[in-house]
């Protein structure tokens, strides 16, 4: 039985839906593997222009499944490391996906569920959602998700929330940078996601992917002559590309570029 619904609409928008509502979309091996497979496919899917990551049921994702954690407790250290590596690899596939990823957060997210949100490029949440890093209450740490979460909220906020395991309300999640926009209900959530999808579909798909690479490659590097030279090389490459030429021509000719339908 699948734990993830994967659909692509006629616009090239992929909807990935966590589908374990009875368990608050908690992770187990199956869901991790299905997310990994889906994002591996999406990375090279020519027709896909944007990805919406969402959940069924009351919660976005409660993090680790209790049965999965119970099994992991019986593993030796080597098998536990392999298990944790699969989770880390799945998060990296989301974080590094060349297509823009929107997290549509309709309900609570804890632990690894917050990690999913941190890996998205755009996160929109209902204002009733709550978040938390509860691992230390169980004698554990949010290790696999920590690099992605700290990129989103910074080490200073992580020092508080990783150690206290306290509930984080939606307004606080917005203030620290975990989510970008809050809405009042699921109807408004749907509408806001569609607004962002529309913005993304109006942009050149190759340029969107390259812009995402800029952030990953240069976001935390010092501004050196080598970095500046690389940025010049990248814009020169795009200016002479078919997509770049089409975009400039469409602007000058006051028409829509060929990627806008």
Q: In the chain, where does DSSP find H-type helix? A: 29-43, 66-73, 77-95, 112-119, 146-164, 170-175, 186-201, 205-218, 225-239, 242-252
Closest C-alpha among 200, 219, 216 to residue 208: 200
- Residue 190, Cβ neighbours under 10 Å: how many? 15
Supply the pLDDT for residue 72: 80
Supply the pLDDT for residue 80: 86
Low-confidence ranges of the chain (pLDDT < 70): none
Query: 103 and 120 in contact (C-beta within 8 Å)?
Result: yes
pLDDT in tens, 85-108: 999 999 999 999 999 999 999 999
Supply the pLDDT for residue 70: 84
Supply the pLDDT for residue 164: 98
In degrees, to the nearest 5, what angle opens at C-alpha 62 toward C-alphas 169 and 126? 40
Q: What is the distance between the alpha carbons of residues 32 and 28, in angstroms, rounded to a whole number?
A: 6
pLDDT in tens, 28-78: 999 999 999 999 999 999 999 999 999 999 999 999 898 888 888 788 888
| pTM metric for this prediction | 0.95
Supply the pLDDT for residue 67: 87
């Amino acid at each position: 039985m699948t734990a993830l619904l994967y659909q692509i609409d006629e616009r090239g928008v992929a909807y990935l839906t966590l589908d374990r509502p009875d368990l608050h979309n908690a992770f187990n091996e199956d869901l991790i593997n299905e997310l990994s497979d889906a994002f591996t496919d999406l990375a090279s899917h020519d027709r896909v222009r944007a990805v919406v990551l969402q959940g069924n049921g009351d919660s976005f994702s409660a993090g680790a499944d209790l049965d999965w954690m119970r099994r992991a407790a019986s593993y030796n250290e080597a098998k536990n490391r392999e298990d944790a590596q699969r989770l880390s690899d799945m998060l990296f596939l989301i974080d590094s996906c060349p297509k823009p990823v929107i997290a549509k957060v309709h309900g609570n997210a804890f632990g690894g569920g917050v990690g999913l949100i941190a890996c998205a490029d755009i996160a929109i949440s209902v204002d009733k959602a709550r978040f938390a890093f509860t691992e230390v209450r169980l004698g554990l740490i949010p290790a696999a998700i920590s690099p992605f979460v700290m990129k989103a909220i910074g080490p200073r906020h992580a020092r508080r929330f990783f150690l206290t395991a306290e509930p984080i309300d939606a307004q606080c999640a917005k203030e620290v940078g975990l989510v970008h926009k809050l809405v009042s209900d699921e109807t408004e959530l749907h509408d806001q996601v569609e607004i962002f999808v529309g913005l993304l579909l109006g942009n050149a798909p190759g340029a969107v992917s390259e812009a995402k690479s800029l952030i990953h490659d240069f976001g935390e590097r010092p501004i050196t002559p080598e970095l500046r030279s690389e940025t010049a090389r990248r814009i020169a490459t795009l200016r002479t590309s078919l997509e770049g030429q089409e975009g400039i021509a469409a602007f000058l000719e006051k028409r829509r570029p060929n990627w806008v339908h």
